[in-house]
Structure 1
Amino acid sequence: MKTDTAPKPEASPLRIANFRAYWLARLTMTLGQYAMMLIIGWQTYNIARDSGMDVAEASGQLALIGLLQFVPLFLLTPFSGWAADHFDRRNVGRATIALQLLCAGALAWLTWSDSIALWSIYAVAIVLGIVRAFNGPAMSALAPNLVPKAILPNAIALSSISWQTGMIVGPAVGGYTYAIFPSLPYLVAAGLFVFAMTALSFIGKVPQPPRPQNQQPIHAMVEGVRYVVRNKMVLGAITLDLFAVFLAGATALFPVYARDILKVGETGLAQLAMAPAIGAALTALIFSFRPLKTNVGPRMLWAVAVFGLATIIFGLSTSMPLSLAMLFIVGAADMFSVYIRQSLIQLHTPDEKRGRVSSVSLLTISASNEFGDFFSGSLAYALGPVAAVVTGGAGAIITVAAWTKIFPVLRTTRTFDPPDELVGQQPNRELPEEKLQEQIP
């Protein structure tokens, strides 16, 4: 009699060698990214303030950083999703990490030689926008090919832990090493990017989905958008995050709060950046051991509402402990909704469309993050930083109320189970689960 080798839902994806390599690559890449991005924002704001700009004008420079990252990502998204579905996703990941390595090296040199200026930071921001356009779809679409479907939600939670751990430790590395020597954060980031490239090289060959013949990138992107629009579950989940985080994103204004409102300097800036990541990482850790199974849609909506409320309180706070507590809640609520959203999107999307749908999802995430940074900075320029954060948090709560009416499927979805027409479309159909089990030592 044949033994059932399918993994149990609570089995750890880290038992699979390919996933371990992927997890380490994503962890070290994220560490380098957030160490670098924290100092980019800090240097931008300080250069602007030291040149005579007031708080509002300097906030506008932070807005420009977000815009410069968003524009190339927006323009290249049709090609990045196509690339994730047509090329080896490991190679795409390695190439994008190599570009980040070059950026870190350039910023280290400019900072060490005391020649860094706003124009050089803007140039790096554009390159990082290009990197994000291609890195996100490739890395997101790679993960489901490394584990059996039964433990995919666990893998998503663990992948989120690597990301959130990078968001916790990365800013700490950036802020505290900058206090030692200004160019040191970029040198550390460069070393982390080298490690990430090496880890990706240890991932064995993984299956690629069938490649449509003679399909152009724009047509592929349109097909991905069409699928998202037709699938109300995926559309509602993606756009909920888009509008909520776009309105309530306060991270771009952390340098303003650190220097001019809370007056805590670069080490305090690191703590502000770490607080939401700690909340998110602890939430993801809980989900990795106890995956959410019931009432997933209503819980996602409530999580976004809590996210908005905590953002409002942070915006009004002049106390560092209260600010850190609210940012911890912001991160925990955001991860709660991210875990549900990503699980629903991955499990409700066929593998051959996953790269393109991931690129659409990435575009909305970047619209909410990078373009959201531009929106927050611009609003701070017009209204002041406190009013900008409070207004954004209120907007997130209003978004939740609206989405419960526009997308009723979100409040009625109880489990992650895909619809009947997707059952049997395994994310690893070119690599049977028996083969995946062979990778488990």
Structure 2
Amino acid sequence: MIDPALRALPGLRPLIISRICSQLSATTMTIAIGWQIYALTHSVASLGYLGLAQFLPMVPLTFISGHVADRFNRRNIVLTCQILEILSTGALAAAAAMQILTPALVYTFAAFYGTLRSFEMPCQQAFLPAIAPPELLPRAQALLSSLFMTASIVGPSLGGLLYGLGAVTCYSLATLGLALAFFGTLALRLHHTVPAKEPVTFASVFAGLGFLNRRRDLLGAISLDLFAVLLGGATALLPVYADSVLHVGPIGLGFLRAAPAIGALVTSVWLSRHPLGRRAGVTMFISVVVFGVATIVFGASHITWISVLALMILGAADVISVVIRSSLIQLATPDSMRGRVSAVNSLFIGSSNQLGEFESGTLGAAIGPEAAVIAGGVGTILVAIVWIRLFPKLWSLDRLEDVRPEIL
């Protein structure tokens, strides 16, 4: 049941519809194109290249997209990106129907999608603070995460089932989901989302980096997630585990992919009703260590239920870190800087996810998938220990509700 205080927030419902439908389609597509590229190439490394194709466009566009998000209407930017996503996913469905889908076309789609996300994500991340006041933002973030994770549970399972019915069916329904996300964004009414425009200069474009350099706690939170997930992310190798280690097939792959979201859903629902209290920084570091331990257990397991349980714990730990990091960034950043700071955060998220998939795929091809996942989990734990020393202000972070934006 949604907290009555959150239910009363204007604009929250269309934002939820937009984010859920978008995530449902994205996770369905992730399963489909991951399984398809592996079926076309039978190469572990190809799974890593798929993540790299999504990540590379984000690097040159990050700072441009952040500045665009702070100069123009963020809602209109998201609507434009979603229209292009609908068209490109529909084209993928048409290519599958004509049986002309090749690895090159799949990589091209992934790269184009990564380009669109580099503009869409900074704007989307700035929506919630325009809807929820500071005292409700952590709970609203947890609620949005819980619903987001619900879509992440349904999407992979649906993707596995639909891909079993055919790639055309899967891609077509993903296109429909993106269309619903578009109408959710269209219904969203936000105020004061376009700050006063400033001249385009080198300093203004890269102002997000300067802000993060001043706020070391934010830099520590973003970079901790980058290196922890970069090293500990095992999702790129799930098709290999489903096929060659656990022998559960594409439907089993959907359930493996959904397992982290199940753990995250349970945890985020709890957080939406029982927000974090004291010592939020310590809690974040503990959650990263638990993430690393669960990754090691998954990497070593050959028993399906143990693997699923490890992935659920991994997801629960990850969402705690996500809620703390997201709330801290939004609460500590003034609205005039949210686009640029969110763009840097999106680049770090993309690095940890897409580049992490590339790292897992290439390392898995070199030393084997199980050794690669275990090594990544160990690396995650080591990163958490080092970051405690490098960012003591993040370690000492207490109550999120007390964080306020820095006056520029």
Amino acid at match of 2:84: L
* Aligned residue type for 1:60: A
- Name the TM-score, length of structure 2 as normaliser: 0.96
Per-residue CA distance 1:282-319 (angstroms, 9 max, x = gap):
11111111111211000100000000000011011111
Aligned equivalent of 1:93: 78
Contact 1:243 1:368 in 2 (8 A): yes
Match of 1:166 in 2: 151
Q: C-alpha displacement at 1:131, in angstroms?
A: 1.5
Equivalent position of 1:12 in the other structure: 5
Cα deviations across residues 212-240 of structure 1 (Å, max 9, x unaligned)? 42124x53331100111111110110111
Q: For 1:342 and 1:221, locate their aligned partners in 2 and report how far apart those are by CA, in whole Å.
A: 22
Q: Where in structure 1 are there 5+ consecutive unaligned residues? A: 1-9, 50-57, 426-441
Could you say which residue in structure 2 is the equivalent of 1:299? 283
User: Residue 49 of structure 2 aligns with which residue?
Assistant: 64
Stretch of structure 1 that moved more, 218-227 or 342-351? 218-227
| Number of the residue aligned with 1:208 | 193
Matches within 5 A, 1:186-201: 186-201=171-186
| Counterpart pick for 2:36 among 22, 25, 43 | 43
Question: 1:380/1:209 Cα in 2 relative to 1: closer, same or farther (>3 Å)?
Answer: same
Q: Which runs of 5+ in 2 are unaligned?
A: none
How many residue pairs were aligned? 406
Task: Tell me the distance in 2 between the aligned counterparts of 1:47 and 1:110.
Answer: 15
Q: Does the CA contact (< 8 Å) of 2:230 and 2:352 recur in 1?
A: yes
Residues 308-327 of structure 1: pairs in structure 2 closer than 5 A: 308-327=292-311
Q: Return the match for 1:257 from 194, 218, 241.
A: 241
For the residues of structure 1 that align with 2:362 and 2:402, how far apart are their CA atoms? 40
Larger Rg: 1
Contact 1:280 1:334 in 2 (8 A): yes
- Mapped partners of 1:222, 1:187: distance in 2: 39
Q: Secondary structure at the match of 1:183?
A: helix
Aligned counterpart for 1:132 among listed residues 113, 117, 127: 117
- Alignment counterpart, residue 370 of structure 1, candidates 334, 351, 354: 354
Corresponding residue to 1:413 among 397, 400, 404 = 397
Partner of 1:52: none
Partner Cα distance (2:404, 2:170) in 1? 49
Shift of 1:174: 0.8
Is it true that 1:182 corresponds to 2:167 in the alignment? yes
Match of residue 366 from structure 2? 382
Contact 1:11 1:151 in 2 (8 A): no
CA contact (8 A) 1:220 1:356 kept: no
Write out per-residue CA displacement over residues 251-310 of structure 1, whole angstroms, 9 at most, x where no aligned residue. 111111111111111100000110001111111111111111211000100000000000
Q: Is the 8 A contact 2:289 2:380 kept in 1?
A: yes
SS in 1 for 2:400: coil
Q: Distance in 2 between matches of 1:390 and 1:280?
A: 21
Aligned equivalent of 2:100, options 115, 128, 132: 115
Aligned-pair CA distance for 1:97: 1.4
Give yes or no for contact 1:85–1:352 (8 Å, CA) kept in 2: yes
Counterpart of 1:14 in structure 2: which amino acid?
Answer: R
Instruction: Tell me how far apart the structure 2 counterparts of residues 403 and 108 of structure 1 sit (CA, whole Å).
Output: 44
Distance in 2 separating the partners of 1:146 and 1:44: 40
Aligned to 1:12, the other structure's residue is in SS state: helix
* 2:333–2:405 CA contact under 8 A, matched in 1: no
Q: Percent identity?
A: 38
2:5 is the counterpart of 1:21: no
Task: Indicate if the aligned counterparts of 1:78 and 1:220 stay in contact, CA closer than 8 A.
Answer: no
The change in CA–CA distance for 1:90 and 1:316 in structure 2 (over 3 A counts) is same
CA contact (8 A) 1:24 1:162 kept: no
One-letter amino acid of the counterpart of residue 41, structure 1: G
TM-score normalised by structure 1 residue count: 0.89
- 2:63 maps to 78
Aligned to 1:156: 141
Pairwise CA distance, 1:101: 1.1
Tell me the amino acid that sits aligned with residue 34 of structure 1.
T
